Structure 1
Amino acid sequence: MTSATALIPGPAGNPLVGSLFDLTRRPLRTYLAAHRDHGDVVRFRVGPPGLRVEFYGVFSPEGVQQVLGSEAANFRKENAFYDELRSSVGNGLLTSQDGDYQRQRRLVQPLFTRRRVDGYAGAVAQEARALTERWNAIPVGVVDAAEEMSRFALRAVARILFGADVDEAVAVVDRNFPVLGEYVWERGFAAIRTPRSWPTPSNRRGAEARRALYAVCDRIVAERAARGDLDEDADDLLTLLGRARGEDGEQLDPAELRDQVLVFLLAGHETTATSLAFALHLLAKHPEQRKLAQREAETVLASREPNAADLESLPYITRVLKEAMRLYPAAALVGRRAVAETVIDGYVIPAGAQVVVSPLVTHRHPAHWPDPERFDPDRFLPEQERGRHRYAWYPFGGGPRACIGQHFAMLESVLSLGVLLRDFEMEAVDERVALAQGITLRAASPMRIRVTARGAAGLAG
């Protein structure tokens, strides 16, 4: 057994800057290589001598459980990336801590019960129908899965948030979120951060994107507040958030409503888009698994629109999505700061240290995932899942800060993927897709697939 006094191993990196260039240029490959070469706890050194800092990667399911679950109070969302994210999208559920987080979670949690989320299936079906109609109208039949799923997921979450006020919000978010996301990522991992007030081109682009996003959300929030209780039957998420009350009458103020909306737009569309895009890409490359999924979709959905009850009847498509999220988790890297000294996997993590856990790395841990690069949805058969460590697969995080929207993400992903599989044949145009890491994992090269209508009645019929 490793002694808790042992030096934590890690890559030597460049003599002048340590692992700075590797982590900046190819972070995912660097973390995978570090786990392969050095084990479940790895020390990284970054920066020139005299300014060098250390942080630690924790990759075993047991270690991840400590960081996110059993010792979550000791690992806080305190680092440069979260500082930048708070400054850009506000203090919503994704970024808040302590009393702010507990209060927000109490108010928002009732809106994400399984029963409430199941009511959003109609909005998902509506956007899935519009997507199939769009694909049927494409003459060549080649689409970029990443672009298509980003547009689809954004429209679906915007419809659930805003009801009828979709088109303007979608246009503003689609134009400005990528700009703001790139700005946050660059500043969060910059060796030197200039003040946001300096009129650099990057700061101006980031500030303008933030202003545009805040403006559209503030306008919609203000319009809903002005309506008061006139729309008693309105059930969009923004209206429900505005009506939410705690036991003592507490509620979200307009700024908090805006911050929650921005977080839901970000987390609710980028993560789902990543999962769906890679699921389509993988199925387009694997005809045997695609045929099994298509057969299930045809049998369950026939020619009708899907509903929430169908989720339990699509177990193979659910397994496909889980396997896509294993190989390509949207939140591929998660950072925390250790408050107190902690022992993880026999190594001492010092107080104040920055810690990174990586679903992308842990999801490929050879002790838990034989032949980890192989696409195999049957890894998620019930008998396989029962014998697996809880944190061997954690695309939605874990512990007290596990994603509040994970049931919605699965409902939206499974139902929409079922519709697309039922209505279209798919063939990969791009066999290999380069990965890039921003706020979420994304494709850095085209992810094109050739889609051909299967001749079924489909949703449009």
Structure 2
Amino acid sequence: MILEVLISVPVLIFIFCKLWAHLNHTYFILSLCKRLRTEDGSPLEKKIYVTPTKTRFGNNFDLLNFTSESIFNYMRDASAQANGRNYLWYFFRAPMYNVVRAEEAEEIFQSPKLITKNMIYSLLEPFLGEGLLTSTDQKWHSRRKALTPAFHFNVLQSFLNIFKEECNKLIKVLYQSVDKELELNQVIPQFTLNNVCETALGVKLDDMTEGFRYRKSIHAIEEVMQQRLCNPFFYNVVYFYLYGDYRKQVDNLKIAHAFSSNLIEKRRRLFKSKQLEKVDEFGKKQRYAMLDTLLAAEAEGQIDHQGICDEVNTFMFEGYDTTSTCLIFTLLMLALHEDVQQRCYEEVENLPEDSDDISVFQYNEMFYLECVIKESLRMFPSVPFIGRKCVEESVVNGLILPKDTQINIHIYEIMRDPRHFPDPLRYQPDRFLPENTVNRHPFAFVPFSAGQRNCIGQKFAILEIKVLLAAVIRNFRILPITYLADLTFENGIVLRTQQNVKVKLIRRKNKL
């Protein structure tokens, strides 16, 4: 025992010295940290709120041992302290410029130089690799250009039948829960995961157990990311391996990657055997999925297998989790606002009785339902903040940002700014009627980001959400069981709540 202690102490001292040397080499203690300056030489505090620190090491240890809930509250408190101003944090590595105003976000969104994601996204790389979300420069440009046609309007039309098919399956499940307590978090993610697998990847997800394990692994990966986010020492791989949830991350990455790899292999076999050129029993050619675009690029030497895996993992995650989050919050808000739900019902009543007869154009003409979706996204953005990084010294909004400055654009705060959305805590879909948006700042509503790096699948998501909402509203009245006061919000890759969201469905009289 004594020998073990004698051995372990020198080892720990060695590791600490190595880690400290790494920090001093890679990062900057507050006194040495690169500082922001104003372009006109005026005091920095006149242009931006500098958040007070609890230690001499800047804001690094302000987050130490925080939970997902306390991070969410910390960000809200920081914005409240700044009183509507953008604010600044200082970390070991570099300053972090936090943007909460649409006016300053505009310059960042439109900058051709500020397209590199910040250090927070590096924590996602073990999961997503260098897909569209995390890649930059030429790799990002070439992948974006290659994948954009996969989300063309004509392709979306071919996806509509799949949305309807999965929606009909879900409605049958919901009929089994009529007059009972229904947990939306249990049924909605399954619907959106099935959709993204069959549309973007071209593979039916028949094994529900496998899908459940995948969703569970994603949440576990997210928990580990939060742990690393809250402790600056966990950015060091050695320290994370020794003292963090490294094994939890590895085990869940295996599950997530095995799931997506299996889907890729299924589609690859079809692609190689030319099955995609065959017609089904109805004389229709099998649909060409987003994954087929990647497989075709692989055949031409434009992308390798790892690149395909990275893009599929990115679309799998972003295509199901963000959409399910929006659907859950929208259904909750419809339950809580009976008048809004009734207006939506009056709009969907005008659709053809048989859902097979409803076209993309008719879904696009459901203007009030779209206002409802937008208002849900405004109050509860699926992705509450996004990040950028200065790869060189940059002048932004009258500030000189040193190289490596980290930028956080707080979408959650921007879309609750009372200057652009009066009484922002009130759920009011009429805000998005055409006559009410004329004079609004173009970057005040950015749930899908904006500029070059806006979400490539936003039209896909809106159509998918409309198809499900229209079907649910047409078949059921939605009553609340969960209320907003019951929910504890958590910070994560996407916006989450600790509690499951529950509603009660009542069969509509015309559906008896």
Q: TM-score, normalised by structure 2?
A: 0.81
| Alignment partner, residue 369 of structure 2 | 317
Specify which of 64, 67, 81 is matched with residue 37 of structure 1: 81
* Number of the residue aligned with 1:191: 232
Q: Secondary structure at the match of 1:272?
A: helix
Corresponding residue for 2:336?
285
CA drift of 1:43 comes to 1.2
Match of 1:442 in 2: 496
Q: Which of 310, 315, 321 does residue 270 from structure 1 map onto?
A: 321
Unaligned runs of at least 5 residues, structure 1: none
RMSD of Structure 2 on Structure 1 (CA): 2.7
Distance 1:122 1:359 in 2: 33
Q: Does 1:177 align with 2:245?
A: no
Name 1:116's counterpart in structure 2.
155
Cα deviation, 1:115-160, whole Å, max 9, x if unaligned, reads: 2122111111111111111111126521122333222211211221
CA contact (8 A) 2:178 2:505 kept: no
Q: Which amino acid aligns with 1:359?
A: I
Unaligned segments of structure 2, at least 5 residues = 1-37, 278-284
1:392 pairs with 2:435: no
Give the aligned residue type for 1:446.
N
User: Is 1:86 the equivalent of 2:125?
Assistant: yes
Which residue in the other structure is 2:423 paired with?
Answer: 371
CA gap of 1:454–1:221, structure 2 versus 1, over 3 A, is same
Shift of 1:348: 3.7
For the structure 1 residues 367 and 347, does the alpha-carbon distance in structure 2 shift closer, same or farther, using more than 3 Å as the test? Answer: farther
Structure 1 residue 181: Cα displacement = 2.2
**Amino acid paired to 2:507:** A
Conserved? CA contact 1:422–1:456, under 8 Å: no
Q: 2:50 aligns with which of 7, 10, 14?
A: 10
What is the distance in 2 between the residues matched to 1:257 and 1:316? 38
The number of aligned residues is: 451
* Aligned positions of 1:271-350 closer than 5 A: 271-305=322-356, 306-350=358-402
Higher radius of gyration, 1 or 2:
2
Partners of 1:321 and 1:64 lie apart in 2 by 23
Please give the alpha-carbon distance, in whole angstroms, between the structure 2 residues aligned to 1:252 and 1:331.
28
For residues 98 and 294 of structure 2, the distance between their equivalents in structure 1, rounded to whole angstroms, comes to 40
1:255 to 289, 306, 329: 306
The 3 A distance-change label for structure 1 pair 65 and 350 is: same
Preserved CA contact (<8 Å) 1:31 1:361: no
Q: Percent identity?
A: 23
Q: 1:428, 1:13 → 2: CA distance? A: 42
Question: What do the CA deviations read for 1:39-61 (whole angstroms, capped 9, x no partner)?
Answer: 33201245xxxx59642211111
Deviations 1:98-120 (CA, angstroms, capped at 9, x unpaired):
11111111211110112212211
SS of the counterpart of 1:267?
helix
Counterpart CA distance in 1 for 2:212 and 2:286 is 23
Conserved? CA contact 1:242–1:257, under 8 Å? yes
User: Counterparts in 2 of 1:100-179, with a 5 A limit?
Assistant: 100-138=139-177, 140-168=179-207, 170-179=211-220
Cα distance between partner residues in 1 of 2:88 and 2:257: 39
Task: Give the drift of 1:339.
Answer: 2.8
Contact 2:166 2:194 in 1 (8 A): yes
The 8 Å contact of residues 116 and 135 in structure 2, kept in 1 or not, is answered as: no
Tell me the residue number matched to 1:230: 275
2:150·2:290 contact (CA, 8 Å) conserved in 1?
no
Report if the CA contact (8 A) 1:108-1:241 is conserved: yes
Contact 2:182 2:504 in 1 (8 A): yes
CA distance in 2, matches of 1:2, 1:429: 53
* CA deviation after TM superposition for structure 1 residue 215, in Å: 2.0
User: How far 1:297 moved relative to its partner?
Assistant: 1.4
Q: 1:245–1:251: 8 Å Cα contact kept in structure 2?
A: yes
3-state DSSP class of the match of 2:361?
helix
Measure how far apart 1:3 and its partner are. Answer: 5.8
The amino acid of 2:105's aligned partner reads V
Taking the aligned partners of 1:117 and 1:151, their CA distance within structure 2 comes to 20
Conserved? CA contact 2:63–2:230, under 8 Å? no
Q: TM-score of the superposition, structure 1-length normalised? A: 0.90
- After superposition, the Cα gap between the structure-2 partners of 1:126 and 1:33, relative to the gap in structure 1 and judged at 3 Å, is same
